[in-house]
Amino acid sequence: MDSACGGFACCNSCRVEVLSGALSPLLPEEEPFLDAPAQRLGCQARLLGGLVAVRLAPGA
């Protein structure tokens, strides 16, 4: 996955749609980049266990 900002939540190149699984709570830094409730920034979300399925979000 490309990371133009180095994982500092400011480039939007890592935006994904979460299809299943549990991730860490949404951070305020992510909110300006998200278009739908199921989206997260891949550089900020942390796995909480189990299998997580994601795909790149449109425009990411």
Interaction site with ligand FES (CB under 6 A): 3-5, 7, 9-14, 41, 43
**Minimum CB distance to ligand FES smaller for 5 or for 52:** 5
- How far is C-alpha 59 from the chain's CA centre? 13
Shortest distance, position 36 Cβ to ligand FES, whole Å: 16
Q: Are 60 and 14 in contact (CB under 8 A)?
A: yes
Shortest distance, position 1 Cβ to ligand FES, whole Å: 8
Rounded to an integer, what distance in angstroms lies between the CA atom of residue 1 and that of residue 18? 15
Shortest distance, position 39 Cβ to ligand FES, whole Å: 12
Under DSSP, is residue 33 helix (H, G, I), strand (E, B) or coil? helix
